[in-house]
Structure 1
Amino acid sequence: MRKCVVLCVAALAVLSFTLPSQVSAQNVFLGAGLTMPTQDYKDFGDGDGANAGWMVEAGFGFPLGENGLYAFIDGLYGSNGHDHHNDKTNLLGGFAGI
Structure 2
Amino acid sequence: MNLDIVNSANKEDYIKVILTDKGELLDPMAKLRSVYPNVMELIREERIKATANSKTVATNIRERSKLSLFQSFYQDITEEECTLEGIEVMKKVIEKAEKVGEE
Does TM-score exceed 0.5, indicating one fold?
no
> Could you tell me the TM-score, scaled by structure 2's length?
0.26
Q: Which structure is higher in strand share?
A: 1
